[in-house]
Amino acid sequence: MKTLYLLRHAKSSWDFDELSDHDRPLNNRGRDDAPLMGRELLSREIALDLIVSSSAVRALTTASLVAKELEYDTSQIVIDENIYGAGKEELYRIIQKFPDDVDNILLVGHNPEISDLANMLSPEHITDMPTAAVVSLRFACFTWKEITPENATLLFYDFPKNHK
């Protein structure tokens, strides 16, 4: 069985006009929501084998804040520059190349692509994911190349406003 967690990065700041979109940091709400969702994953007894993040500052910061709550070594976060700007089909291909010796993976990305991917893979409709939302999908297969909506089960869909 393979379990995929799709996490949209937390709320980012638009306060720095001189920064590129790629380099925008999290705002205060984002810095609060990312650890909150990490704690929620911890309360579900989620143990990740791998965290893969977009190279964008806001995504990588989100991944790091969640990882700390899960006691996952932040130096082990894999940064994949192909996630930033990738469409749902490209994200799907990235996932299919994940190593088969890991079963529980968190992918941190951007909207609308992460919501589109969640809907492409989920047997149930998922609304547009707000910032710091997470979708968990379990696949009845043994390799990442085999994941499809047909062998998927939606385990949960959660977001910060559920906990405030």
Q: Please report the pLDDT score of residue 104 as a whole number.
A: 98
Q: Name the CATH superfamily for 2-11+22-144.
A: Phosphoglycerate mutase-like (3.40.50.1240)
Q: For the sheet containing 50-54, what is the strand order? A: 78-80, 50-54, 104-109, 2-8, 134-139, 152-158
Q: Please report the pLDDT score of residue 17 as a whole number.
A: 82
Q: Please report the pLDDT score of residue 164 as a whole number.
A: 73
Domain boundaries, the chain: 2-11+22-144
Provide the whole-model pTM.
0.96
**Residues annotated in a binding site for substrate:** 58
Structural tokens at position 96: 């299919």
**Residues annotated in a binding site:** 58
Local confidence pLDDT in tens for the 164 residues of the chain: 999 999 999 999 988 888 898 999 999 999 999 999 999 999 999 999 999 999 999 999 999 999 999 999 999 999 999 999 999 999 999 999 999 999 999 999 999 999 999 999 999 999 889 999 999 999 999 999 999 999 999 999 999 998 87
Give the long-range contacts of residues 151-155, CB within 8 A, separation 24 or more.
Answer: 152/121, 152/122, 152/123, 153/123, 154/122, 154/123, 154/124, 154/126, 155/3
Q: Please report the pLDDT score of residue 62 as a whole number.
A: 98
